[in-house]
Structure 1
């Protein structure tokens, strides 16, 4: 029998499994009969593993052994801004492990155990696999797994590895807002060229996607988002508020007590849910604060909305940026589809509706289940099992930010442009600058600025041990490829020595959040004049450096004796490398001086392989 392919949404707060068979979508319940399973693991001190709702309850016994938010930790470095700023909210211990990736520590049988976020995600996925197999009464090995649209390469690769360790073959990593849109399009008759926007605010991540319906495809026009923004951050806002009340009124610091953290987080999550339908939530704290056996704190919806206002506004800013980047007007959006449990918040719905001029929002998809349902539909499209026959509807994703490399003069050369359809590929041909270069190395960047230093550094690709060759005679073909799972691979192929180097580029967040990175899109627009000036400057700089390198090569080859010219060329070449755009006038003067001192000699002695003059006008 051909394998059944299922869809899994491994969420920050809850996980959901779905399958499409015999013309309908079905949510696969867990052993307790629940349609979603909390993404929560408890490791009892005496040994064993507990998953889901029962794990949350049992963790009250030993909070430091109750692990959650694995999805937000996966693929990040320990010194990542998000991890560092949220350490105070976790009752469990997080430290730096191999290659600076975080590890979670706890004790079982008086032994310290360490687990990586990848291993913890594997445990959850193994449990979900058991649920699916029990409901379908057969082995399940193939899956479509959803991820936030703005998961970077490292996060995607680690997600794939976690699924593989759980016994799955992942047929596709599907972006979550795309999955939600697929579920919507499946249940609704949508006309051709219909444009919709998915606003997906889940437990740990936020995504916006603008999609256009075509005859047999759904094209993702633009995506934006932040994988550090979600319902857990709303919980943290309430936690901070309650902790401050306890500190101020009862002289008790809840942030240093793991037991208090776990109990308060549960209370905060309950209060957040209550405030979706009620104007106030009552938080009762029993037996936590010394000399105060029972404390009652009332949190109004108005206070909660005030505390969370920056987070709410951040989602609208991201939504706005997505529309600006896509060049689609608000009026062109025919449907705004809400997805993710946090969209139940009245203030969120009000702000999104107000942004679109009071537009009626679409709540037709189930906020907690639609992503898994979309994954199940995509799974059916990739399945060859006859029970999963389905009308094909191709989903076309796009590259979120431009990808390229740094060229001589720190110029950003774009290989794959932002919003290019995935899968995507591009290439560029390098030529060697001089005979001494026996290695090739280039930095790989993500961003929209012309100066690579103002974009995000992703990694480096290098080849050593190349054969010497005259300037401009050795070719290195540099290619970039993004597969259907959003994994970026860079390859350099040197033709003369027949050497090839290929790397999967790992995104490193450094000290910037994804939202700050995506603000570079706006910065690119605001600094257009500055970038144009830099581009002109670097073209002249590149030309002069290459000209002088090749001039000196010809000069030595022909054994000429204009010593003052040679010294001038060597000194000018060396000075040019570190010259910045602020020295534009000096660059122009050097350009004129090179023409006066070198052009006649090059013409007289028939110098070869000199570069063409820059196309930009040099005054």
Structure 2
């Protein structure tokens, strides 16, 4: 499908592709080194709902998948982004599960497993496997448009995704044999897409505030002479339009229960019908002061009718609006900037249309103009495609000097006494980078030094993400406090982390490399040992291979409009 007015010569060339994987919608963009082109789906829409529905006849992706939500709620999957790279037992995941109509159970390694029925068979998918259905159709649409194979992409991720979440996103793409050249933070992609063609010779400090359906991202970026340097980032992976929507749903359920004495919270179909009406009401309240939320015959002969005002909405979500401020404060503190130092405040995402949130931002940045680009929904895909062009070396003359310097979202370190975190690399550190700290032994004649690696921002490692462990062995016999052991963290340009432990003054050295493959094994395997500097894992006793069974055994036509 070729959009009207497209340059066919453009489509004959090699290109880079960027994909914006949103919790609510997905978008994709082509870039040939000079021009951008958004990729339409099968119904000629740029935005595709992030919905996948498993039915008796096949798999529906996009708008057709979303249309199934009332008819097939238990097998229609949405909000999957909040489950990627998470542990089933996490309290936030458990809260999310309460509000989702499909079945999620605990899988190996404490990973969530989504249980669906497809063609009268039960399948169990990891969240990243669900992602692969979206990726597959986006790639098919790109190939249909360009008449060329697409094997390499750049994908956006929230600024506050940890390594497990990023690597599982990459895995979702690789299940379709698509190589992720690089991931790019959503807020960085927005800045890249918006400012890359501007001639900025004097340093400009930009704060990008992205409040989408599922997460809130704040990045402070320095731009000068086409160099984009992330000064700091912060965010909240569980604060977005979905959370504000849930408050309205819960309010309406309580109102109905109060007047009818009927509790609808366990009725999935009723809640989903109400959810759709509440979503419409939330959008209307961006311009109207009052709305009527109506669901005819929501239960037996009962109708649900709730008068709902903007004031009620703001009071109901007071704490959520307060949480919208903290990432700004945190990012500005880490970047060591004040409001007066920031030139542009770029606001992106559906939630930023909320009048109360706009007022909060205006109060924080007095006398500053809030920039809302007219094409703000597409900017993440633009930036991802541009990043793909950088990696592939496909840049026109106007982009030749473009350089992006990223930073760590979380601190990285090792566990020390009493389960405390000793940071080696602080959050918001530009990379590539190498940092090291010198340790020593705590016992006489100690021959081993255990290293447990974590990512996070808590001083208590039980609240941080465990990345892996190994031991430095054969330490020369000595009294405690005498050996000098250097722990070195090295992050390359692809975010891969190498941790090295060396006994100084000797050749004794061990290391691990923590990349997407390593993270996958940490999630699935229970035991590991270090031998000859290599990580040896026990055989995996269980892999949910529903995605493989589906693709090998089921010749199901993907009826999609991605």
Q: TM-score, normalised on structure 1?
A: 0.76
Asked if 1:11 corresponds to 2:19, the answer is no
Superposed displacement of residue 59, structure 1: 2.3
Deviation at 1:456, TM superposition (A): 3.6
Q: 1:499 to 1:493 in 2, by over 3 A?
A: same
Alignment-derived partner of residue 345 in structure 2: 336
- The secondary structure found in structure 2 opposite 1:377 is helix
Distance 1:83 1:130, change over 3 A: same
Kindly report which structure 2 residues correspond to 1:210-221, keeping only aligned pairs within 5 A, or say none.
210-221=220-231
- Larger Cα-atom Rg: 1
Distance 2:123 2:420 in 1: 47
2:434 and 2:380 map into 1 onto residues whose CA distance is: 28
Tell me if structure 1 keeps the 8 A contact 2:33–2:389.
Answer: no
Alignment of 1:384-403 (within 5 A): 384-385=393-394, 390-403=399-412
Of 146, 159, 162, the match for 2:172: 162
**Corresponding position of 2:542:** none
Cα distance per residue 1:29-60 (max 9 Å; x no partner): 1111111101100001x141100111111221
- 1:442 and 1:57, CA in 2 relative to 1: closer, same or farther beyond 3 A? same
- 1:264-343 aligned within 5 A: 264-292=274-302, 294-343=303-352
CA distance in 2, matches of 1:295, 1:74: 35
Query: Contact 2:419–2:462 (CA<8 Å) still a contact in 1?
Result: no
**Aligned residue number for residue 137 of structure 2:** 127
Question: What is the SS of the residue equivalent to 1:443?
Answer: strand
Alignment partner of 1:369: what SS? helix
How far apart are 1:114 and its partner, in Å?
1.2
What is the CA-CA distance between 1:92 and the residue it aligns to?
0.8
**Matched-pair contact (CA < 8 Å) for 1:21–1:389:** no
Query: 1:425-480: per-residue Cα shift (whole Å, max 9, x none)?
Result: 2233445455642322033345678x666984635522275365334776654222
Does 2:61 correspond to 1:51? yes
Residue number in structure 2 paired with 1:576: none
Q: Deviations over 1:259-317 (max 9, x none)?
A: 1232222222222222223323332212321222x433332222222222211221112
The residue that corresponds to 1:579 in the other structure is none
Deviation at 1:2, TM superposition (A): 8.1
* 2:433 maps to 1:424: yes
> Could you tell me how far 1:186 is from its partner in structure 2?
2.5
Cross-structure match for 1:182: 192
RMSD, matched Cα: 2.7
Query: Partner of 2:474 in structure 1?
Result: 466
**Counterparts of 1:341 and 1:430 in 2: how far apart (Å)?**
48
**Displacement after TM superposition at 1:409 (Å):** 8.0
Does 1:29 pair with 2:40? yes
1:377 equivalent in alignment to 2:386: yes
Q: Please, which of 248, 255, 260 is the counterpart of residue 270 of structure 2?
A: 260
Residues in 2 aligned to 1:166 and 1:299: alpha-carbon distance in whole angstroms: 45
How much has 1:395 moved relative to structure 2? 1.4
Counterpart-to-counterpart distance in 2, 1:14 and 1:220? 26
Q: 1:140 corresponds to which residue?
A: 150
User: Relative CO higher for 1 or 2, CA cutoff 8 Å, sep ≥ 6?
Assistant: 2
Secondary structure of the equivalent of 2:376? Answer: coil
SS in 1 for 2:42: coil
Higher helix share: 1
Asked if 2 retains the 8 angstrom alpha-carbon contact of 1:341 and 1:367, the reply is: no
Cα offset, 1:354, TM superposition: 1.3
Q: 1:349 Cα shift?
A: 1.3
Unpaired runs of at least 5, structure 1: 508-619
- Normalized per residue, the structure richer in strand is 2
Q: Which 10-residue stretch deviates more, 270-279 or 72-81?
A: 270-279
Structure 1 distance, partners of 2:276, 2:152, is: 34
Shift of 1:411: 7.2
Alignment coverage as a number of residue pairs: 504
Residue 189 of structure 1, CA deviation? 4.3
Q: How does 1:392-541 map to 2 (within 5 A)?
A: 392-407=401-416, 413-432=422-441, 436-446=445-455, 456=464, 458-459=466-467, 461-463=469-471, 466=474, 469-471=477-479, 476-493=485-502, 498=508, 500-504=510-514
Q: Which runs of 5+ in 2 are unaligned?
A: 1-11, 521-562
Residues 557-577 of structure 1: per-residue CA shift (max 9 Å, x gap): xxxxxxxxxxxxxxxxxxxxx
Please report the TM-score for the alignment, with normalisation by the length of structure 2: 0.83
